[in-house]
């Protein structure tokens, strides 16, 4: 398997992975986080065009995620806790894997890839967030060394659990 930046020609496979992820989330008690059509095609196209959309490929696209070394404005305010530090950080958003690859370590490999890019750029902090109903993601984050730090709010005003990983 390889992980690389997505290209425009990957869009249909990416949309398919996100559709499968929405279906998985709904079956596992998390219908609200991504609803019926998040992320929209236009957002994925923007992520690709800005070089922030990454894919895991094993014969075909089996995973997708947003990754950037950037400060996320929605992380400026955290409630019911605090970040582990105020260092420069990177973010991973919208991570998803295809239905045939659940529990095969694809998402973990995506996080490891992001960690290696961070290290190469002298960044030792990685932040993510997830919906309170996304229990599989909460378990994944804990398993991969993330610490729950508090609550942040996304653009539509809904809460997300905020997680922070110190990179060693």
Concatenating the DSSP letter of every residue in 1-38 gives -EEEE--GGGHHHHHHHHHHHHHHHHHTT--TTTTTTP
pLDDT (tens, 9 = 90+) of the chain, 168 residues, equals 999 999 999 999 999 999 999 999 999 999 999 999 999 999 999 999 999 999 999 999 999 999 999 999 999 999 999 999 999 999 999 999 999 887 789 999 999 999 999 999 999 999 999 999 999 999 999 999 999 999 999 988 999 999 999 999
> What is the reported pLDDT for 11?
98
**End-to-end distance of the chain based on CA atoms, in angstroms?**
24
Complete edge-to-edge strand list for the sheet that includes strand 53-58: 2-5, 53-58, 60-68, 90-97, 125-130, 159-166, 147-153
**DSSP result, 111-167:** HHHHHHHHHHTT--EEEEEE-TT-HHHHHHHHHTT-EEEEEEE-TTS-EEEEEEEE-
**Residue 3 pLDDT:** 98
Instruction: For residue range 82-115, list pLDDT tens digits in order.
Output: 999 999 999 999 999 999 887 789 999 999 999 9
| pLDDT at position 104 | 87
Assess whether the previous peptide bond of 39 is cis (omega < 30° from 0).
yes
Residue listed under structure tokens 């994944």? 140
Residue 71: predicted pLDDT: 95
| Number of compact structural domains in the chain | 1
| Domain residue limits at 101 | 2-166
What was the pLDDT predicted at 122? 98
What is the model's pLDDT at position 102? 76
CATH number assigned to the domain comprising residue 84: 3.40.630.30
């Amino acid at each position: 398997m390889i992980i690389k930046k997505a290209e425009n020609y990957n869009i249909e496979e990416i949309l398919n992975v996100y559709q499968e992820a929405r279906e998985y989330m709904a079956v596992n008690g998390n219908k609200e986080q991504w609803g019926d059509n998040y992320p929209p095609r236009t957002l994925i196209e923007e992520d690709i065009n800005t070089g922030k959309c990454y894919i895991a490929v094993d014969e075909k696209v089996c995973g997708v995620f947003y990754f950037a070394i950037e400060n996320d404005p929605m992380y400026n305010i955290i409630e019911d806790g605090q970040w582990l530090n105020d260092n420069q950080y990177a973010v991973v958003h919208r991570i998803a894997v295809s239905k045939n690859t659940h529990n095969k370590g694809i998402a973990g490999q995506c996080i490891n890839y992001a960690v290696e890019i961070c290290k190469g750029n002298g960044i030792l902090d990685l932040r993510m967030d997830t919906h309170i109903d996304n229990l599989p993601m909460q378990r994944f984050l804990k398993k991969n060394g993330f610490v729950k730090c508090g609550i942040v709010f996304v653009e539509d005003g809904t809460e997300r659990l905020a997680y922070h990983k110190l990179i060693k």
